[in-house]
Amino acid sequence: MTIHYEQTVFTELRNKYPTWKELSCYLESEEGGQFHIGEETNELCLIRYEKGTSNMNLPHSRWFRSVVWDKINHLPVCVSPPKATSTEFPLLSIEDAIQNGIICQELLDGVMINCFKKAGDDQLYVTSRSKLNAAGNFYSSKSFRTLFIESYTGYHVDPNMIEQIIQERAHKFASPDKEKKEVAIFYSYVIQHEEHRIVTPIARNNCTLLHKGTVYEDGRIAMEDGFPFAQSGVCQFSSNKGSYAKVVESSGQTIAEWVKHVFEKSSWKFQGMVLKDSMGNRWRYRSDKYAAVRSLRGNSPQLIERFAQLYTQNLIPNYLEYYPEEQSDFSHLLDKMTIIIQTIYQLYVDVHITKCAGVIDKMYRSHLYALHGIYLSQKKKLTPLEVHIYLHKQPWQRIAFLLKHT
Strands 111-118 and 125-127 turn out to be antiparallel
Residues 214, 183: contact at Cβ < 8 Å?
A: no
Cross-strand partners of 206: 192
pLDDT 10s per residue in the chain (406 long)?
789 999 999 999 999 999 999 999 999 999 999 999 988 899 999 999 999 999 999 999 999 999 999 999 999 999 999 999 989 999 999 889 989 999 999 999 999 999 999 999 999 999 999 999 999 999 999 999 999 999 999 999 998 999 999 999 999 999 999 999 999 999 999 999 999 999 999 999 999 999 999 999 999 999 999 888 754 444 555 433 333 334 444 457 899 999 999 999 999 999 999 999 999 999 999 999 999 999 999 999 999 999 999 999 999 999 999 999 999 999 999 999 999 999 999 999 999 899 888 888 999 999 999 999 998 888 788 999 999 999 999 999 999 999 999 8
Residue 180, classified by CB atoms within 10 Å of its CB into exposed (0-12), middle (13-18) or buried (19+), is exposed
The model carries a pTM of 0.89
Burial grade of 333 (CB within 10 A; 0-12, 13-18, 19 or more)? buried
Cα–Cα distance for residue pair 10/280, rounded to 1 Å: 14
Confidence (pLDDT) at 251: 54
Domain boundaries, the chain: 3-289, 298-404
Tell me if 399 sits within 8 A of 308, measured CB to CB: yes
Contact 268, 293 (CB under 8 A): yes
Beta-strand pair 182-192/111-118: antiparallel
Alpha-carbon distance of 166 to 200, in angstroms, equals 27
**Rounded Cα–Cα distance for residues 208 and 230 (Å):** 8
Q: In Å, what is the CA distance from 96 to each residue of 84, 99, 242? A: 20, 5, 20
